[in-house]
Amino acid sequence: MMATILLVDDEELFRERLGRAFTKRKYTVFPAANYDEAMQLIAKQKPQMAVVDMRMPGKSGLELIKDGLRLHPEMRVVVLTGYGSIATATEAVKLGAVSYLPKPADVDDILNAFARDTELEIEQPPAEFQAPSLARLEWEHINRVLHDCRGNISAAAKKLGLHRRTLQRKLNKFPPDN
């Protein structure tokens, strides 16, 4: 029987990339963009695991953890966020999350977080850590800031301390592979 995982994140690109990575590792993936989609999938599919973004439009990841575990108590949850704080991490764990990870997190980070839960039997791949390149980290940071600025190039450039045209040139490049 294949392991099942629910991926809840409002960022489509991140959700799809993570979904492909889990699929390559033989997981059945159920993607959701928000609380409502996630609750429907939890009720219908009863996934073994869930990766939940903390901040989403509408109801938050904390509300999803609380309501999702009330509906399906056996599900194990790892919370991802780009806006980490000790208070929200503590609240997520109190509500039943097994771990709390900062974004960007990759599949290995998430599986390692689930592996700490002794009730789950997760097959760990051999430890082969490959750090992302500086170019990749820069690209992800720029896109996160742009997302936070609701796509406003001028506002993002100001936050990043870049000239608007420099930011536009960086955005026109393809994302680095690693």
Chain segment 138-157, per-residue pLDDT in tens: 888 888 888 889 889 999 99
pTM above 0.85, yes or no: no
Provide the residue range defining the domain that includes 58: 4-115
State pLDDT tens for residues 95-108.
999 988 887 788 88
Structure tokens at 125: 């791949």
DSSP, res 133: P
The burial of 70, by beta-carbon neighbours within 10 Å (0-12 exposed, 13-18 middle, 19 or more buried), is given as: exposed
Q: Is residue 42 located within the same domain as residue 93?
A: yes
- Domains identified in the chain, total number: 2
3-state secondary structure of 11: coil
Mean pLDDT of 21-48: 94
Q: Is residue 20 located within the same domain as residue 71?
A: yes
Q: Is residue 96 located within the same domain as residue 155?
A: no
Q: Is 90 a residue whose pLDDT tops 90?
A: no
Domain containing residue 72: CATH number: 3.40.50.2300
Q: Mean pLDDT over all residues of the chain?
A: 86
Q: Is residue 167 located within the same domain as residue 80?
A: no
Q: Is 122 inside a domain boundary? A: no
